[in-house]
Structure 1
Amino acid sequence: MSTLIENVYLAPVVGPEIESGYIRIEGDRIAELGAGPAPDAPGATRTDGGGCLATPGLVNTHHHLYQWASQGLAQDATLFEWLVALYEVWAAMDAEVVKGAATAGLGWLALSGCTTSSDHHYLFPKGRGDLLAAEIEAAREVGLRFHPARGSMDLGKSKGGLPPDVVVEELDDILAATAEAVDAYHDPSFSSMLRVAVAPCSPFSASAELMTESAALARAKGVRLHTHIAETLDEDEHCRERFGLRPVDYMEKLGWLGPDVWFAHAVHLSDADIGKLAATGTGSAHCPSSNGRLGAGIARVSEMLRRGANVGLGVDGAASSELTPMAGELRQALLFQRARYGPDALSARRALELATLGGARNLGREAELGSLEPGKLADLVLWPVRGPFTAAVADPVCALVFGPAPPPTLVLVGGRAVVSDGELRTISQDEAGNAGVAAHRRLTRLARERGVAVDGGSAH
C-alpha cells in the first residue's frame, strides 16, 4: 500500500518546517518527505493536503478510560474527596462498562488527533469479567496504538490506604495477573499496536512491597513502569507523614526512578525533584485540564524542560477532565505555563513536541513515533488550518495550538485512516458515542444496586 500526501504544510517536530511539501507512505511507514511537488509514485493513493497542517499523531501518555462512564460527579471536590466519592461507584463496573467507556473514550481521542494512547486501569473488582481484555478489544476496534498500564491497589482503608477494601487486590494476585497480562498482550515489535506497562496506582493506595515487586517484575519482563506521583499537596503531606519522605524521594528509595519510568502529573516538585527526574531520565505526563479541574495546581513544566527532564501530555480520566480532547491539551499546557511563568514559558512548537515526541519518549517509542521522519511509523494528522476563519492566523502551528484545534481532516495510524473528513472510519461514530452513554447508564444502575447514591454533582 502506497500513499502520497501532497501540497501540505509540514511540521515534522524534528527538523525544519516545510511550507508546501509532500509525504510518501509505504505500508505502515513514512518513506520520504520533502519540499515542493510530490514525486511520481505509480499506483499510490494521492491525497491533496492543501490548506492543511501535517503533524505527527498525538500521543496520550495518561488516561483512565473506564471513567468515561462516571463523568460529571464530585464536581467541586479535591482529588482525595473526589476519589472517596467515586471509588464506590467504580467498584460496580464490569467488563461491559469498561468496553463501552473505552470505545467512546478512544473514539473521542482519535477525533482530536490522537494516534497512540496509554491507559492506567487500576481497579479490578472481583467477579466483574476481564476488564483489561475489554479495553484492549475496544482499542483494536477503534484502531489506535494502545499502551494499557496494568494498574493495581493493595492498600485499602483497613491498612491505612485511601481506597475502600472492596476495590483492592492481594499482592500475590496482582503480581500473577500483571505477569499474565504482559505475557498475553505485550508486543515489543517496531510496528506494535499493543504494549503493556506495569502500574501500581499511587503511594497512598499501593504498599511499598507492591511498588518494589512491580518494579522487579517490569524489569524482568522488559516493560515500562508507570504510577501517579506528586499530584496534590495532600499527597505530599501523606508521604511525609507515612514514609518520612516527599513523593519523589520515596520513589527513589523504592527503585522507581529511571529511563523506563514515567509518572503521571508530577505537579508539586522541588528543584531537587526536577534534578532527579532529569538525571535519571524519568519522564512525566502533564495533565493540565485535570489538574485544573481538581484544583491540584500547575506543574513546573517549563522548568522541567529547561533542565532536561522529559515531559509528555495526558488527558487523564474523563471523570476529572470531562470531554477533554487530546488536541486541547496543547493549548491548556501552553496557557497554564504562561499564566504562571510568563509569555516565553512555553511556545506553540514546544507544546506540539510535548504532545508528540515527548509522549513517544515516555512510552519508550521515540524511534518509532512522535515525529515525521523517513523510517518512522506513518502515524500522522492533517489539520485544516486554512479555512474561512482559521486562515486569519498566518502561522499554522500557532492556529493549531493557540486556538481551539479544528477537527482533523485525516488521522492515519500506520498508514490506515482512522479518521477522515472529521469522521471515525474504523467503527461507527454514533455507535462509539452511544456505547459511552450505555456504559454510563449501566454503571449508574449497578452502583445504585450496591446502595451507592449517584447524582449529577456527587456520589455517596
Structure 2
Amino acid sequence: MAAPPSPVTRVVVENCAIATVDANDTEYARGHIVVAGNTIESVGPGAAPAGLTDVVRRVDGTGHLATPGLVNTHHHFYQWLTRGLAQNSNLFDWLVALYPTWARIDETMVYAAARGSLAMMVRGGVTTAMDHHYVFPRGAGDLLGAEIRAAREMGVRFSPTRGSMDRGASAGGLPPDFAVETTQAALSATEEAIDTHHDPSFGSMLRMGVAPCSPFSVSTELLRESAALARRKGVRLHTHGSETVEEEHFCKELFGMGPTDYFESTGWLGEDVWMAHCVHMNDADIEAFARTGTGVAHCPSSNARLGAGTARVPGMLRAGVPVGLGVDGTASNESGELHTELRNALLVHRLAGGEAALDVRQALRLGTYGGAQVLGRAQEIGSLEAGKLADLVLWRLDGLGHSTIADPVAALVLGAPAPVTLCLINGEPVVEDGRLLTADEDTIAREARAEARRLARIAAGAG
C-alpha cells in the first residue's frame, strides 16, 4: 500500500507592503502572502486568513516590501574570473583583448565562476538566473555541467543556454580560430545538452535554451540550423543582437542588411526568441520585434561600461516588445548584481529621454514580470499571484538607506541597494538577513580568486 501523501506545509508572510506586479500592478500597503509547498496560495491585504493549518513559519514583514523574485535574462558566468580588464575598450576591442584568456577556461574554473556569479545575484534578490555560455575549449571538461551543478547546489531556478561559435577570424569572424567549434560539433553538443538537462514541466528548476553567440561569431548555417533544432526540441532561442554600431556595419558589409533583417532571414525572430542588448534599433526593427513577439534582455550597466549606447526600451515597451533585465557578464558589469539594474535602467533612460521615460514601477516590472515573459515563464513566475511558484523577496526598507522614502517601490528602485531579509525560491529559503543559506560566501570568494589567478597565469604563459 502506498504511503499517504505528506501534508502541505505553509509559510506565512504578514504586515509587509506588497508589490504584486500582476496585470493591474496591484499593491498593498500592508498585506500577507501564504506559501503552500512551492506555490503561492494567497496574496491580499491585511492579515492572513484565519484557520490555516500546517503553518511551519510566520514571518513578520513590518518595515519590508515583498516583490516577486528578480529574473535575470542575460549573463556569462565564466566572466566572473576576468573582471576589471580592458577597462577602456568598446565591445569589439574588449572581445579581442579577452578571447585569448577565455579560451583557456576549464571545468574547475567555470564551476568557481558560476558559484560567484550566482551567489552575487541570489543574495541580491534573483530567484531565476540565466546563463549564455558559448566558449568551449577542447579538453576543458564539462563546462555546461559545471554551472548546472553550481545552480542546483545553490537552489536557484536556472535557464542555461548552450552557446556556440563557429566563425573564427579566418572566416571573417571576430573570435580567434582556436576559440571556435565546427558547425556540426556545436549542433551535436547543443542537442545533447537539451536531451540531458532540459525539464519542460511546470515548476521546472532547469530549462535549457539554444544560443549561438552573435552575428559576428557564428555562420549563417549555424544560426539557421540552431533555430530548427530549438523548434524541433521545443526550447527557446537566445543570442546577442544590435549591440553596437560596429555590429551594424559588420552585418551590412557581410550580409547586405542590418542585424534585425539578417536575423529574420535566418528564422531568428519569434515568440520563442530573445536577444541581448538591442541597442541600435530603428523604428522598423522595433516594429519587427513587436510583430513577432521577439524579446529583449536589456543590460544598461554593461552597455554603459562598453560605451555601446542606450537601447530604446521605452519605445519598445510602447510597441509591445517583451523586455527584461540582464546583468550581462561581469567582465562588462563588475558588480554582478541585478537589483542595481532597476535603478540604472531608470536613470539611463531618463538621461536619454527625459523625466517621463521610465518610472519606478516600470523598472520593477522589467526586473520581474518582464524577465519572466522573455524566458517564456510568465505563467509560473514574475508576479505574486495565487497558483504561481513561490519565488519571492522580502526587502528591508526601514533602515538608514530607505526609512524616509514613503513609497516602498520608489525606495527599492531609487534608494541604496536594499537588504534582503528573506528570499524564497520554489518555496525554500535561500537567503536570510542578507546571507546565503545554501553556500558559504567566503569559500566561494576564496575559490573564485584562486581560479581567477590560475586562469591569468595560464593565459600569460600561452601568450
SS for the counterpart of 2:390 is: coil
Shift of 1:43: 3.0
Shift of 1:38: 1.6
Aligned to 2:11: 3
Q: How do residues 29-428 of structure 1 correspond to structure 2 at under 5 angstroms?
A: 29-40=39-50, 41-44=52-55, 45-428=57-440
**How many Å separate the matches in 2 of 1:438 and 1:329?**
28
Shift of 1:143: 1.2
Letter of the 2:308 partner, please give it: A
The structure 2 residue matched to 1:440, chosen from 436, 448, 452, is 452
The CA deviation string for residues 435-456 of structure 1, in whole angstroms up to 9 with x for no partner, is 32122112112212312xxxxx
Alpha carbons 2:117, 2:336 under 8 Å: kept? no
Alpha carbons 2:402, 2:416 under 8 Å: kept? no
**How many Å separate the matches in 2 of 1:408 and 1:389?**
13
In structure 2, stretches of 5+ residues that fail to align are: 1-8
Alpha carbons 2:421, 2:433 under 8 Å: kept? yes
**How many Å separate the matches in 2 of 1:135 and 1:435?**
15
Shift of 1:400: 0.5
Alpha carbons 1:105, 1:436 under 8 Å: kept? no
The CA deviation string for residues 366-394 of structure 1, in whole angstroms up to 9 with x for no partner, is 00000000000000000011224411000
Asked if 1:28 is matched to 2:62, the reply is no
% same residue: 57
Alpha carbons 1:8, 1:51 under 8 Å: kept? yes
**How many Å separate the matches in 2 of 1:434 and 1:104?**
10
Shift of 1:36: 0.8
Letter of the 1:192 partner, please give it: S
Shift of 1:264: 0.3
**How many Å separate the matches in 2 of 1:349 and 1:367?**
20
SS for the counterpart of 1:248 is: helix
Q: TM-score, normalised by structure 1?
A: 0.97
SS for the counterpart of 2:124 is: coil
SS for the counterpart of 2:403 is: helix
Letter of the 2:53 partner, please give it: P
Query: Cα RMSD between the aligned structures?
Result: 0.8
SS for the counterpart of 1:390 is: coil
Alpha carbons 2:73, 2:129 under 8 Å: kept? yes
Does 1 or 2 have the higher relative contact order (CA < 8 Å, sep 6+)?
Answer: 1
The CA deviation string for residues 54-103 of structure 1, in whole angstroms up to 9 with x for no partner, is 00000000000000000011000010000000000001100000000000
Shift of 1:407: 2.1
Aligned to 1:457: none
**How many Å separate the matches in 2 of 1:173 and 1:388?**
54
The CA deviation string for residues 244-292 of structure 1, in whole angstroms up to 9 with x for no partner, is 0000000011110000000000000000000000010000000000000
The number of residues matched between the two structures is 451
Alpha carbons 2:401, 2:416 under 8 Å: kept? no
Aligned to 2:3: none
**How many Å separate the matches in 2 of 1:436 and 1:280?**
41
Alpha carbons 1:289, 1:324 under 8 Å: kept? no
Alpha carbons 1:103, 1:435 under 8 Å: kept? no
The CA deviation string for residues 175-233 of structure 1, in whole angstroms up to 9 with x for no partner, is 11000000000000111010100000000000000000000000000000000000000
**How many Å separate the matches in 2 of 1:228 and 1:388?**
40
**How many Å separate the matches in 1 of 2:34 and 2:310?**
40
SS for the counterpart of 2:85 is: coil
**How many Å separate the matches in 2 of 1:20 and 1:444?**
51
**How many Å separate the matches in 2 of 1:143 and 1:414?**
9
Alpha carbons 1:265, 1:287 under 8 Å: kept? yes
Letter of the 2:251 partner, please give it: C
- The 4+ residue runs of structure 1 with deviation greater than 4 A are none
The CA deviation string for residues 125-172 of structure 1, in whole angstroms up to 9 with x for no partner, is 000101000000011111111111100000001111000001100011
SS for the counterpart of 2:151 is: helix
Letter of the 1:291 partner, please give it: N
**How many Å separate the matches in 2 of 1:330 and 1:389?**
16
**How many Å separate the matches in 2 of 1:195 and 1:389?**
37
Shift of 1:405: 2.0
